[in-house]
């Protein structure tokens, strides 16, 4: 039983296997309907078995067990009966994913290669996650990803028991969410004339227009599809920086006394634009209107508002911004940014939601009640946790999967820190500097996929996998806290089986020996670029 992520406990019962056949049934109470529906559809497609409804005590049976935590489950497989007991709907979904794994890699196909020989191995499995937030960020702002590819990515997250899709919807290079009261955000802000190719130092352009956006119906579909698989979609709407696409659509949002915002287009460079929002009351009302529609689309507890990499030059040069600082009794531009974040923290809290932002929201004072995505290493997360704020650890040095996977010159667009599969497996989200009370504020961890260098699902596959498999085990399983004590060799052995499942799913992961031939780009950029890319 080469299960990934590793369960809390698993005992193989080799004399207790359960062969499946056309008479095998699937039963569940109404509270576990999502898991039942998903499991029947998935296993029936792969095996060709109907898995019709049955009676308790036989077949594949899902039951609720209130003694278990919401995401916990137990599986007991004996001849004629596979019992999945779950603490709640989420636990049932994760247990259903484990049942699929137990059937082997061919259970990941959409059509049967055979109709016989399907066997659930006799076993006793007990399992529960380490962290409540097990996430992956998908950046659809830099390069738009069609809805079908987003739904596929949701399936891949759920297959690895990752339960948060952080969807980065807006940035300088594109606005991807339809806002009906502000139609120019997508009419104008969703499209740029061209894109950079590779790292920004190259100054190369492809001269192909690029863009796209999700309608509100698309996003409702994505959210519902994800929820039925145990995945929460957390939207990110960037402010006050990373907003040139919004300013290009509505020039009055910018600092009009220092730049001709009417002449701005959606940015075609990578990096960080200096064109940021002004801090007027009108701009606050505008983004309240944006967020009113966002809250209708995304029922998640958290809403991510960025808050990072906001250049202050325009505010320093703007008479209007300086007057705003004096009017509000603020000390400087950092506090002006903090004022904006605090405003929306209160605004979200009044509506029963919570703000989360990148660790720059610590600058000028952390907004009360806000949570932090710690990306610039562990420092911001440590400071936030010690101050009693919840933290999601996603340090760029460890879990930015747009960064290269090896040091060779044939890696496609070889930027950032080298982070191998083993590096990811030895990543520990909870810093030793935190005592027990502060450590409880680390609510989870997240891997980030920024898409400057990924313009297709194929590129995302290559950079995400198999590293995302290792990350999933770090986020789910109770591994030794000391990274050196982790059994990477054992993980690699289990991964050998799991890669066959990824093959069945059509995932174009990076082979252990290096890039696929179509991805090798020797000599394009010269030697690999040292250090991180210039953005998150």
Q: Which residues are catalytic?
A: 171, 242, 309
Angle at 329 between CA 323 and CA 334, to 5 degrees: 80
Q: Name which of 195, 209, 206 is nearest 271 in CA terms.
A: 195
The rounded Cα 341 to chain-centroid distance in angstroms is: 22
8 Å CB contact between 172 and 273 = yes
Helices (H), 365-516: 379-386, 396-399, 421-425, 436-439, 457-464, 467-476, 488-505
DSSP 11-50: EE-TT--EE--TT-BEE--GGGHHHHHHHHHHHHHHH---
The C-alpha torsion from 316 through 317 and 320 to 326, rounded to 10°, is 40
By DSSP bridging, strand 59-64 and strand 81-86 are parallel
> Torsions phi, psi of 57, nearest 5?
95, 0
CA 343 – CA 349 distance, rounded (Å): 10
8 Å CB contact between 49 and 21 = yes
Residue 174's DSSP bridge partners are 171
Q: 306: left (phi > 0), else alpha (psi -120 to 50), else beta?
A: left
The rounded Cα 393 to chain-centroid distance in angstroms is: 12
- Counting DSSP H helices and E strands in the chain, the numbers are 17, 20
Q: 249: left (phi > 0), else alpha (psi -120 to 50), else beta?
A: alpha
CA 213 – CA 178 distance, rounded (Å): 7
Going across the sheet that includes 123-127, the strands are: 9-12, 123-127, 73-78, 81-86, 59-64, 26-27
Residue 127's DSSP bridge partners are 73
Q: Name which of 114, 138, 219 is nearest 461 in CA terms.
A: 138
Which string of b and e fits 222-232 if b means at least 16 CB within 10 Å? bbebbbbbbbb
8 Å CB contact between 110 and 90 = no
């Amino acid at each position: 039983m080469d299960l990934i992520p590793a369960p809390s406990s698993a005992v193989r019962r080799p004399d207790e296997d359960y062969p499946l056949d056309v008479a095998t049934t699937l039963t569940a109470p109404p509270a576990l309907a999502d898991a039942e529906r998903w499991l029947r559809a998935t296993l029936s497609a792969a095996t060709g078995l109907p898995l019709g409804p049955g009676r308790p005590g036989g077949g594949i049976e899902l039951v609720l067990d209130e003694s278990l935590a919401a995401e916990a489950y137990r599986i007991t497989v004996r001849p004629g009966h596979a019992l999945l007991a779950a603490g709640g709907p989420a636990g049932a979904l994760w247990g259903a994913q484990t049942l699929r794994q137990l059937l082997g890699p061919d259970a990941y196909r959409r059509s049967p290669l055979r109709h016989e020989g399907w066997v659930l191995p006799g076993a006793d499995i007990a399992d529960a996650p380490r962290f409540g937030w097990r996430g992956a960020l998908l950046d659809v702002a830099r390069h738009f990803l069609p809805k079908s590819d987003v739904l596929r990515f949701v399936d891949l997250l759920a297959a690895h028991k990752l339960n948060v899709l952080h969807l980065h919807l807006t940035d300088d290079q594109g606005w991807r969410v339809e806002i009906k009261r502000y139609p120019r955000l997508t009419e104008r802000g969703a499209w740029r004339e061209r894109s950079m190719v590779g790292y920004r130092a190259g100054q190369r352009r492809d001269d192909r227009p690029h863009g796209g956006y999700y309608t509100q119906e698309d996003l409702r579909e994505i959210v519902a599809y994800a929820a039925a698989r145990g995945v929460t979609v957390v939207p990110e709407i960037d402010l006050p920086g990373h907003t040139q696409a919004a300013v290009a659509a509505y020039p009055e949002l910018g600092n009009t006394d220092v730049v001709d915002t009417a002449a701005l287009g959606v940015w075609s460079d990578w990096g960080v634009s200096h064109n940021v929002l002004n801090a007027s009351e009108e701009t606050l009302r505008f983004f309240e209107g944006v967020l009113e529609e966002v809250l209708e689309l995304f029922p998640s507890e958290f809403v991510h508002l960025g808050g990072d990499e906001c250049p202050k030059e325009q505010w320093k040069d703007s008479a209007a911004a300086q007057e705003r600082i004096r009017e509000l009794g603020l000390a400087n531009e950092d506090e002006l940014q903090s004022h904006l974040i605090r405003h929306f923290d209160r605004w979200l809290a009044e509506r029963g939601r919570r703000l989360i932002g990148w660790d720059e929201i610590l600058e000028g004072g952390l907004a009360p009640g806000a949570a932090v995505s710690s990306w610039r290493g562990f420092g911001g997360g440590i400071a936030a946790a010690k101050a009693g704020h919840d933290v999601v650890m996603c340090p760029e040095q460890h879990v930015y999967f747009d960064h290269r996977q090896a040091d060779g010159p044939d890696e496609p667009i070889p930027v950032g820190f080298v982070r191998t599969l083993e590096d990811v497996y030895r990543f520990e989200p909870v810093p030793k500097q935190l005592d027990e009370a502060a450590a409880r504020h680390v609510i989870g961890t997240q891997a980030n996929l920024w898409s400057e260098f990924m313009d297709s699902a194929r590129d995302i596959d290559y950079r995400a996998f198999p590293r995302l498999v290792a990350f999933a085990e770090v986020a789910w399983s109770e591994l030794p806290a000391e990274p050196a004590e982790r059994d990477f060799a054992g993980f690699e052995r289990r991964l050998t089986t799991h890669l066959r499942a990824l093959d069945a799913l059509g995932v174009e992961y990076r082979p252990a020996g290096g890039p696929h031939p179509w991805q090798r780009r020797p000599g394009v950029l010269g030697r690999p670029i040292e250090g991180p890319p210039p953005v998150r």
